[in-house]
Structure 1
Amino acid sequence: MRIDIEELRVSYAGRDVVAGVHLMAAAGEIVGLVGPNGSGKSTVLRTVYRHLRPTAGRVLLDGTDLRTLSPGRTARHVAALPQERAADFELTVHEVVAMGRTPYKRAFAGEDRTDREAVAGALAAVGMAGRGALRFSTLSGGERQRVLLARAFAQDPDVLVLDEPTNHLDVRHQVELLALLRDRARTTVISLHDLNAAASLCDRLHVLHAGRLVASGPPRAVLTPELLAEVFGVRAAVTEHPLTGDPLIAFDHRWAPDRPPARDRS
């Protein structure tokens, strides 16, 4: 399914935190939102999974305004992994993931075979197979992240909305997650701080700065040294990844805009 965000504006206390954002994700496309902290990425995503009502503009799912759909119907199409999550669930891992099946169940209905298979498949996909009996509250931060992602997968949505899903994951599980998202072939709108991960994963990037959309396009066209300097305030070279051919950003960690040049020690 296709997502269109049209002239989105979100205001808090009379101040626009997102202003006039217009972007889209085609069916099956992985679209990334990147930008500095406070640029509006999470705010945009919250409007897509209906945690936040925009001040103006709208979000369309295959041409239908999401606000005209019931919450239950929306949940059958859109699953989210937000940044803000409950610190603890006094539930088992299986029970947390099974919450993703709620949009398909009548009130008080128990699990059926389809639900159990969906939960087992989702746990296997995130590397948590056989751990359904564990208490969610006993897991590490990275394990919790994977369980919550499994909950979104168990929901079997047409659209995934993921806000910094690689947080708390070690390098191996970050790589596995990105590969899993590519293989899922779901329309995905994702925010990432890791620009190299975004360049590798996403078909298209939308760059936000101070609540406004400042660039859109394929990663190779968007992630230029000039944009990185202007938006992120860093000096970087963009080369080609020797293994994948994706854009690879090499940051100059010795440079800062307010620091004088280093002395020549030769």
Structure 2
Amino acid sequence: MRIAVEDLHVALAGRTVVAGVHLVAEEGEIAGLVGPNGSGKSTLLRTVYRHLKPRAGRVLLDGGDLADLTPARSARHIAALPQERGGDFELTARQMVALGRIPYQRAFAADSTEDRAVVASALERVGMTADAERRFADLSGGERQRVLLARALAQQPDVLVLDEPTNHLDVRHQVELLALLRAQRTTTLVALHDLNAAASVCDRLHVLRRGAVVASGKPREILTPELLADVFGVRAAVVDHPLTGDPLIAFDHRGPATPL
């Protein structure tokens, strides 16, 4: 499904955090949100998965207003992996992933054979099958992250909304997660701090600054030294990755380009 944000305005505690944002993720496309801390990425995503209500504007799913759907119907279409993650659950990893099947179940209904198969598949896809019976609270930060991604996958959504999904993951699991996103080709909105990861995995990037989109396009088109200096305040060269050919940003760590 195609997801589009139209003229979105979001305010928190009376302060405008997202101002007039327009962006789109076409069906099967991975659209990345990048920008400095405080640029509105998380707030925008929280509005897309209906944790926040916008002051103005709309989120459209295949042309229909997402606000017109019931929460249960919305959860069949959009699954989220937010930054806020609880750790005091007594549930096992498998039980956490099974929560992703709730939008498909009637009240108090037991898990079906299909539900159990979907949960098992999701655990396998994130490499957590062997840890399925461990308590979620006992898992490491990276293991919890993979379990919560599996929960989102278990919803079998049309759209994935991921806020910094590589946080807490070691290098290997970061690579595996990004490869998983590329392979499944579910329409995805993802916020990433790692610009090189964003350049590698995303079909389209939307660059945010102070709550507004200042550039959109293919990574190779918009990740220029000039934009990196202007938006992120860093000096950098953009070259071809020697293994993949993707844009590779080489930062000058000796000092910033301009004060932010």
TM-score w.r.t. length of structure 1: 0.96
Task: In structure 1, give the amino acid aligned to 2:190.
Answer: I
Q: In the alignment, is the contact (CA less than 8 A) between 2:47 and 2:54 conserved in 1?
A: yes
Where 2:116 maps in the other structure, the secondary structure is helix
Report what 2:182 is aligned to. 182
Q: After TM superposition, list the pairs within 5 Å mapping 1:134-145 onto structure 2.
A: 134-145=134-145
Structure 1 gap ranges (5+): 260-266
| Shift in Å, 1:23 | 0.4
Report what 2:125 is aligned to. 125
Q: Distance in 1 between matches of 2:14 and 2:117?
A: 48
| Shift in Å, 1:257 | 4.3
Answering whether residue 9 of structure 2 is matched by residue 25 of structure 1, we say no
| Shift in Å, 1:91 | 0.4
Report what 2:168 is aligned to. 168
The 3 A distance-change label for structure 1 pair 121 and 256 is same
Q: Distance in 2 between matches of 1:168 and 1:130?
A: 19
Where 1:47 maps in the other structure, the secondary structure is helix
Q: Distance in 2 between matches of 1:258 and 1:114?
A: 55
Where 1:198 maps in the other structure, the secondary structure is helix
Q: In the alignment, is the contact (CA less than 8 A) between 2:3 and 2:62 conserved in 1?
A: yes
Task: In structure 2, give the amino acid aligned to 1:22.
Answer: H
Where 1:130 maps in the other structure, the secondary structure is helix
Report what 1:218 is aligned to. 218
Task: In structure 2, give the amino acid aligned to 1:88.
Answer: D
Q: After TM superposition, list the pairs within 5 Å mapping 1:70-109 onto structure 2.
A: 70-109=70-109
Q: In the alignment, is the contact (CA less than 8 A) between 2:229 and 2:258 conserved in 1?
A: no
Where 1:27 maps in the other structure, the secondary structure is coil
Report what 1:65 is aligned to. 65
Task: In structure 2, give the amino acid aligned to 1:138.
Answer: D
Task: In structure 1, give the amino acid aligned to 2:98.
Answer: A
Q: Distance in 1 between matches of 2:127 and 2:258?
A: 44
Report what 2:200 is aligned to. 200
Task: In structure 2, give the amino acid aligned to 1:36.
Answer: P
Answering whether residue 24 of structure 2 is matched by residue 51 of structure 1, we say no
Identity %: 72
- For residues 209-265 of structure 1, the C-alpha deviation after alignment (integer angstroms, 9 at most, x for no partner) is 011110000000110000000000000000000110000000000123479xxxxxx
Larger radius of gyration: 1
Pairs aligned (count): 259
Q: After TM superposition, list the pairs within 5 Å mapping 1:5-44 onto structure 2.
A: 5-44=5-44
The 3 A distance-change label for structure 1 pair 257 and 202 is closer
Q: Distance in 2 between matches of 1:206 and 1:56?
A: 20
Q: In the alignment, is the contact (CA less than 8 A) between 2:204 and 2:217 conserved in 1?
A: yes
| Shift in Å, 1:13 | 3.3
Report what 1:246 is aligned to. 246
Query: What RMSD over aligned residues (CA atoms) do the two structures have, in Å?
Result: 1.0
Task: In structure 1, give the amino acid aligned to 2:108.
Answer: F
Task: In structure 2, give the amino acid aligned to 1:93.
Answer: A
Task: In structure 2, give the amino acid aligned to 1:228.
Answer: L
Q: In the alignment, is the contact (CA less than 8 A) between 2:87 and 2:136 conserved in 1?
A: no
* Runs of 4+ with >6 A deviation: none
Task: In structure 2, give the amino acid aligned to 1:255.
Answer: G
Which stretch of the first structure deviates more once superposed, 5-14 or 25-34? 5-14
